[in-house]
Structure 1
Amino acid sequence: MNDAAPRPQLSGLPRSLDMEAARARLEERRARFEQMAAQTQAMADQMKSLSATASDPNGLVTVKVDSTGNLTDIELSARTQRVAPDVVSRAIMDTLAEAKRRITDQTGEVIAATVGADSETGKAVAADLKERFGSGEDEEPRR
């Protein structure tokens, strides 16, 4: 005589169908995870190759930054010799800020095209950029 109580069936379905549904859900989650990982890798690969160049409106300075906002090149025109050092310094700093703003814009485009701007990954990367480069909201953009 079997004293064990019968196992309840989930959702009123036979146990074999419940297992099939569980496997299907698990496979679906695995596929979503793999897709998200591939999108995140594509985003990272594209972001590595980003760079931005900016010049000041007076033609004194041109700077280039890499994907992390690090200065990779700076060109000073001959005009800088006829301008006060504080003007040159301000032009360098303003132009560097503009180049970093451009990198932030480019990164935003990559995020939107790969993982989506509203995804958790996209939001996290965007928040990191704001922290590293500042929001830029207090500065007037220059083109």
Structure 2
Amino acid sequence: MSNKISKERKFTYYIGLVLVVVGFILFISSFFVDMIPMSPSSFVVRPVIGMICIIVGNILMSIGAEGTAGSGLLLDPEKAREDLKPYSAAKGGMINDTIENIDMVKDMSSRKGESEVKEIIKIKCRACGALNDEDAKFCKSCGKEL
């Protein structure tokens, strides 16, 4: 399967988006009672229909964006992997773009041939056993001469 989203899935997504917008308008319009003449029953019906449109629209958007298996409507892991392939490829590309912009990664990739491990030598105090830097003359813990 290609990394492109099919026309049917795009159409389903956009139909869901339109339903969400219409549902939102229906729901919000119930708060503007003075501006729109309506019967008392439409005051209850309009927001209910709006919420139903929002819920159905979100389901359609999820199916359109992620496919039937990717959205969890169809329980098939192989089909879900195929449905989500365009997003996985896009996310991998975005992660690589982000990693390329990090200065530390650039420095690390430019110094691949160099030895990045620096040895740290510590000296153990005979009196207390604390570890001190190699150039220290006195113990940082007990103060005795090393």
TM-score normalised by L of structure 2: 0.31
- Structure with the higher strand share, 1 or 2: 1
Considering only CA atoms, is the larger Rg found in Structure 1 or Structure 2? 2
TM-score normalised by L of structure 1: 0.31
